[in-house]
């Protein structure tokens, strides 16, 4: 049986240390996080509250009129439980104003627009509140490209980016997140009835095992098939990773000079910090 | 001889020499206050680790003002600093320098520069080419930096040259989560290595790791001193800043070596002979021959002779 290790005690220490360290380095003390009511953003917010103190975390709730009612209830539950600051911004007027000009837009376009609208709000609140934008994308989403570029994928620091969804669940449970949030069906809640697993065509628990062996343990395709994964599933996931590589990189820059940013002009982000 | 050894498990600022020099001074003062007689700083702790293109800007020559300052500080207490050293011919080394009584007594240039996975050292640094011990006022020691120790030949050479203690400045990143284990998997491996080396070579392992984060990469701390019996006699906290001081009784090296004289029995000639033989092993020879063949072929071609199929010529040779 494939078991993805989740040492909750160690992860908790590591991730709170990460948040504290990387925030303090910038000279700031606070973070802003978009709280959807889902397990990922709830975990990010709770870890930040533990790392920085609840008064240093601003959760921004940004529902659209079609968002599931439970989403807001669950987000408020996290706010209350962890004692963090919160702000409610209804994004319906700005979304609707835009799509009045493009009434034929499909749900994908609308969903991506909402994710990016939320990003602009978070970055504005970041300036208002002097806090870094805290990321909530997990490793499963990042590898599969299941996120909106410059939308929910945008952040300054992300404590969850190296955790598979399976690990997010385990850690969330270990730090005492309400079961109603940990246990619910994952959904980006971008349109009514949307579920991540329905859209992806497989469950997170299945794909996490595959990704763990493929990415972390460097299993080859024949080895993955021998380990019991259907060949088509392996191919599909490998294809998704490759096709979404652009989402994990900076925009492509045409090389002209001797030193091009990120190619031969190489500095750590924490340069001087 | 018994000395009080201190290890400063610090979190330097990436690429900020003045700030880190200040941190060094602070820890040197603390070591003196704690009546330590020797202080170990981690690998590249005067500069930060993931330096990338800042390497040339933080590099120190033997004549740099910072180097003078470090020498001056060593009048009060001998210490090992981790820094970027620039040679006269402008190569940059990941070096650790032993300062004592206002002088540089020893420089170790990291030999094994990890360049795989998350590491990129060989892109930025030149490779050291020697493993030497040095005589400190406390006895003979060796300095080996982090990855150097993942190659057992380095500590083997240090032990054969009479090191009583191996000083290991490290910048070891946390990676690999394992269930039911207090530390990450890299820390577990290092701790095992330090104990095995200390006991196998009957010497002290004085391991100084850094802490803090650089671009999301955490360093696991956990600095430690392991005695020749494999016992950890001092341990710093994992993942956060710490400063540990412990009495290091060098005489226990004698006791351990009396009980198990493994180093005395080491057959150097056998090792050398076998290494010579291994160096001539067929796979290596093939590469050399292939190279010779291609040269021969080029010459023959130039002379207008008919080329032999390369497979045949290789068999003939």
Q: Is residue B314 over pLDDT 50? A: no
Q: Is residue B295 over pLDDT 70? A: no
Q: For A225-244, what is each residue's pLDDT tens digit?
A: 999 999 999 999 999 999 99
Cβ proximity of A159 and A15 under 8 Å: yes
Domain presence at residue A266? no
- CA of A58, closest CA in chain B: separation in Å? 22
Q: List the CATH number of the domain containing A75.
A: 3.40.50.620
The pair of structure tokens assigned to A70 is: 């439970």
Adjacent-strand bridge partners of B247? B4
Comparing B55 with B290, the larger pLDDT belongs to B55
Comparing B51 with B299, the larger pLDDT belongs to B51
Domain presence at residue A261? no
What are the CA-CA distances from residue B244 to residues A93, A150, B40, B292 (Å)?
59, 45, 10, 57
- The structural domain count of chain A equals 1
A258 touches B at CB < 8 Å: no
In B, minimum Cα distance to A262 occurs at B53
Please answer yes or no on whether B184 and A157 come within 8 Å at the CB atom: no
To the nearest 10°, the Cα dihedral for A205, A210, A213, A214? -140
- Mean pLDDT, chain A, rounded, equals 96
Q: What is the pLDDT of residue A191?
A: 84
Domain presence at residue A271? no
Mean pLDDT to the nearest integer, A133-143: 98
Q: What is the pLDDT of residue B308?
A: 45
- Where are any strands of DSSP class E within B65-202? 79-86, 92-100, 103-109, 133-136, 139-143, 165-170
The CA-based diameter of chain B, rounded to the nearest angstrom, is 80
Domain presence at residue A215? yes
HSE, side-chain direction, 13 A CA sphere, residue B83: 27
In A, minimum Cα distance to B218 occurs at A18
What are the CA-CA distances from residue A5 to residues A213, B14, B182 (Å)?
12, 31, 13
Q: Is residue A48 over pLDDT 70? A: yes
The whole-angstrom separation of Cα B182 and Cα B147 is: 23
Mean pLDDT to the nearest integer, B237-243: 97
Structural domain for A26, as ranges: 8-248
A267 touches B at CB < 8 Å: yes
Which ipTM value was assigned to this complex? 0.92
A122 touches B at CB < 8 Å: no
Q: Say what percent of chain B tops pLDDT 70.
A: 89
In B, minimum Cα distance to A3 occurs at B179
- CA of A13, closest CA in chain B: separation in Å? 8
- The full length of chain B comes to 317
Domain presence at residue A1? no
Please answer yes or no on whether A21 and B182 come within 8 Å at the CB atom: no
Domain presence at residue A270? no
Element (H, E) at A49: helix A39-52
In B, minimum Cα distance to A265 occurs at B53
Q: What is the pLDDT of residue B315?
A: 38
Partner-chain residue, chosen from A6, A18, A267, that has the shortest CB–CB distance to B52: A267
Domain presence at residue A27? yes
Domain presence at residue A259? no
- Per-residue pLDDT band at B297 (split at 50, 70, 90): low
The pair of structure tokens assigned to A221 is: 């395709």
Nearest to A52 by CA among A72, A82, A10: A82
What are the CA-CA distances from residue A118 to residues A47, A60, A75, B309 (Å)?
21, 9, 15, 68
Element (H, E) at B249: strand B242-249
The pair of structure tokens assigned to B183 is: 């530390």
- CA of B181, closest CA in chain A: separation in Å? 8
Please answer yes or no on whether A7 and B239 come within 8 Å at the CB atom: no
- Per-residue pLDDT band at A190 (split at 50, 70, 90): confident
């Amino acid at each position: 049986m494939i078991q993805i290790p989740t040492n909750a005690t160690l992860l908790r220490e590591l991730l709170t240390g990460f948040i504290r360290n990387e925030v303090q380095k910038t000279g700031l003390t606070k973070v802003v996080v978009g709280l959807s009511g889902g397990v990922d953003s709830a975990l990010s917010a709770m870890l930040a509250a533990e790392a920085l103190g609840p008064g240093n975390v601003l959760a921004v709730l940004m529902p659209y009129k079609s968002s599931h009612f439970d989403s807001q209830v669950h987000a408020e539950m996290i706010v209350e439980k962890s004692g963090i600051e919160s702000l409610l911004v209804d994004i319906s007027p700005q979304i609707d104003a835009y799509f009045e000009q493009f009434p034929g837009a499909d749900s994908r376009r609308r969903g991506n627009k909402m994710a990016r609208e939320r990003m602009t709000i978070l970055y504005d609140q970041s300036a208002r509140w002097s806090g870094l934008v805290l990321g909530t994308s997990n490793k499963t989403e990042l590898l599969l490209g299941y996120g909106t570029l410059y939308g929910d994928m945008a952040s300054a620091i992300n404590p969850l980016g190296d955790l598979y969804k399976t690990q997010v669940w385990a850690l969330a449970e270990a730090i005492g997140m309400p079961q109603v949030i940990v246990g619910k069906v994952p959904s980006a809640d971008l349109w009514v009835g949307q579920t991540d697993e329905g859209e992806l065509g497989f469950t997170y628990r299945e794909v996490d095992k595959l990704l763990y062996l493929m990415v972390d343990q460097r299993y080859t395709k024949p080895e993955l098939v021998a380990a019991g994964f259907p060949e088509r599933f392996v191919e599909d996931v490998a294809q998704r990773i490759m096709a979404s590589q652009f989402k994990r990189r900076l925009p492509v820059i045409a090389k002209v000079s001797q030193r091009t940013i990120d190619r031969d002009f190489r500095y750590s982000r924490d340069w001087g910090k | 001889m018994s000395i009080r050894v201190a290890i400063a498990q610090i979190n330097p600022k990436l690429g900020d020499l003045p700030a880190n020099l200040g941190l060094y001074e602070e820890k040197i003062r603390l070591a003196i206050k704690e009546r330590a007689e020797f202080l170990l700083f981690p690998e590249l702790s005067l500069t930060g680790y993931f330096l990338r293109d800042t390497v040339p800007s933080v590099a120190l020559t033997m004549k740099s003002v910072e180097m003078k300052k470090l020498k001056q500080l060593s009048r009060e207490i001998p210490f090992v600093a981790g820094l970027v050293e620039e040679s006269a011919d402008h190569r940059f080394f990941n070096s650790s320098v032993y300062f004592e009584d206002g002088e540089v007594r020893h420089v170790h240039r990291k030999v094994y520069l990890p360049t795989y996975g998350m590491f990129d050292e060989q892109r930025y640094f030149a490779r050291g080419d020697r493993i030497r011990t040095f005589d400190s006022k406390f006895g003979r020691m060796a300095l080996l930096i982090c990855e150097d120790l993942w190659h057992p030949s380095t500590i083997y050479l240090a032990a054969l040259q009479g090191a009583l203690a191996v000083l290991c400045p490290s910048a070891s990143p946390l990676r690999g989560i394992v269930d039911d284990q207090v530390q990450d998997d890299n820390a577990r491996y290092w701790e095992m290595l330090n104990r095995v080396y200390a006991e196998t070579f009957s010497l002290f392992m004085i391991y100084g790791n850094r802490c803090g984060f650089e671009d999301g990469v955490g360093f696991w701390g956990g600095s430690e001193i392991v005695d020749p019996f494999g016992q950890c006699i001092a341990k710093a906290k994992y993942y956060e800043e710490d400063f540990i001081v412990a009495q290091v009784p060098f005489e226990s090296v004698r006791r351990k070596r009396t009980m198990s004289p493994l180093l005395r029995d080491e057959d150097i000639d056998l090792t050398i002979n076998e290494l010579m033989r291994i160096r001539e092993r067929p796979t290596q020879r093939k590469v050399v021959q292939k190279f010779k063949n291609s040269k021969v072929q080029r010459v023959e071609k130039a002379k207008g002779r008919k080329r032999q199929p390369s497979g045949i010529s290789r068999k003939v040779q």
